Chain A
């Protein structure tokens, strides 16, 4: 791509010089050939503002030659008639070169300053993230240390009730800590490219129910399940998919009010080239058909702020007014795991309110279960 861009710059620089020269040529009777030199100099400066050093040098050289050949009398020869014109041509060439080099240098300096600023911004952002992360990790640790210190100091001054509540705090904090560490481990494994999907036949219905059963009744949310009853088996990494569903559901539960309805739906699409439609039921050669699993997780909550939808899958990203604890890793893990399957995950706000995550994963299917059920 880089070499394409360079070639493009050379062609464009040449074209600009030729076009400007042609216009000057048309008016050369009125403006005189010395003015043409100024116009060409301005053109070279203009090119120097936009392009790399080599195309700029090319345009300086080319414009000098054009001026000499087409404008300095006698025209249509490289021969220069008077000593004055020889001198002007030499000066033209030197000025064009100085112009080109200086402009280029100024741009280089600007570019360096910009990179430095971006770097500083990145460091700043990273510090914010590290602070938020260390907060998320240190809060449960502080709870555990504080509670155990209390329990070890002098047990007699605690009522049985207080003792139990301290113990329960330790338990909750440990589970939370474990969750955060697991997230961090997962994201670093994903980043290192260490996590490769190990695909096996997967009963998506079983998968969805096993995740939902684990989360059932959490904080008063209702989870509804809608699964196409003709769903075939898919070849997927079951562990990955479990994590994807778990993170999305836990995210929905954490960020919506109790009583919110969360819907999980599973369906599939079959694509034949560009055409989407019903399963071909083996009538068309199986190799020509691409199947995709479609999972949708939607809720009746308040949705995402539209200007932050783009960012929610970024590592460590947390919504600006987010109150609940979290490292901002859950959704980036979802994205990583889905992409490890060559799939896509999209987030949108539903017109009727609430958020909707749509996951599309291309996967091999098995019709074995369909034949059995019929």
Chain B
């Protein structure tokens, strides 16, 4: 089997070098681009399996590169961003980025995010998730079990959980969740989301205050994980 190919679009030479070494030594093929123009050409010439895209590019903003890529490119795109830029992250996620990493990031986290994004793009739909907390979700049978006992969920809770499971491992923004579950008119009514997340955690988590599945991404949204990717 061929090693997955990753395209890195980042203007900082040191970061490109570092990513190249990190990724190559973890059996990924790496292509490098140092600006938006090069990146777009490289992606079009030979579409990679995943793109790591820096938001702060010299010739064109990463946001606009992301939009251009998403017109035709369907594989995962992970955004690299600097600190204190939740707005950038939310915008990128809403524009179709699969995930984000904040610089400086830890290598283990980078690799875990890449693995998770690649796994999703190869396995289109999961029906059952079984994991450390003893949670089983069967989307076909519309049942959720915790420790082999069926959990009763309201229809909104179930819709929300389904959305999370279908996007497992992916950071979902408040706006996206509200729009998908409650409709476009509710995209700013985050109070409903907070309440349902709290309820859902009470039902599916062993300890709602130390969630293993429904992880809060502060200022951005929530992420559903079925495997502990913290490593």
Contact = CB atoms under 8 A, between A and B. Distances in A.
Contacts of A242: 218-219
Contacts of B218: 207, 210, 238-239, 242
Contacts of A201: 190-191, 194
Interface string A332-374: 0000000000000000000000000000000000101100100
A185 B84 contact: yes
Nearest to A371: B195
User: B86, B191, B199, B210 — which one has the most chain A CB atoms within 10 A of its CB?
Assistant: B191
Given A182-B83, A200-B190, A209-B209, A238 B195 contact: no
A185 B194 CA distance: 30
A206 interface: yes
A203 B84 contact: no
Contacts of A225: 209
B104 interface: yes
Contact of B210 (A202, A209, A239, A368): A209
A178 interface: yes
Contacts of A372: 195, 199
A368 B104 contact: no
B197 interface: yes
B198 interface: yes
B104 A178 contact: yes
A233 B194 contact: yes
Contacts of B194: 201-203, 206, 233, 369
Interface string A177-190: 01000100110010
Sorting the interface of chain A by its residue count into under 10, 10 to 19, 20 to 34 or 35 or more gives 20 to 34
Given A178-B104, A203-B194, A213 B210 contact: yes
A368 B195 contact: yes
B159 interface: no
Main secondary structure of the interface of B (DSSP, over half): helix
A174 interface: yes
Nearest to A235: B191
Given A210-B216, A210-B218, A203 B198 contact: yes
A182 B87 CA distance: 18
Contact of B191 (A205, A206, A207, A368): A368
A140 to B, nearest CB: 13
User: B84, B174, B195 — which one has the most chain A CB atoms within 10 A of its CB?
Assistant: B195
Contacts of A203: 194, 197-198
Contacts of B191: 201, 233, 366, 368-369
Interface in A219-251: 225, 233, 238-239, 242
A26 B140 CA distance: 108
A369 B104 contact: no
Interface of A: 174, 178, 182, 185-186, 189, 198, 200-203, 205-207, 209-210, 213, 225, 233, 238-239, 242, 366, 368-369, 372
30 contacts: A182-B83, A185-B84, A198-B87, A200-B174, A201-B190, A201-B191, A202-B194, A203-B194, A203-B198, A206-B194, A206-B198, A206-B216, A207-B218, A210-B216, A213-B209, A225-B209, A233-B191, A233-B195, A239-B84, A239-B218, A239-B219, A242-B218, A242-B219, A366-B191, A368-B192, A368-B195, A369-B191, A369-B198, A372-B195, A372-B199
Given A209-B209, A368-B191, 14 more contacts: A174-B104, A200-B190, A202-B194, A203-B198, A206-B198, A206-B216, A207-B218, A210-B216, A225-B209, A239-B84, A242-B219, A369-B191, A372-B195, A372-B199
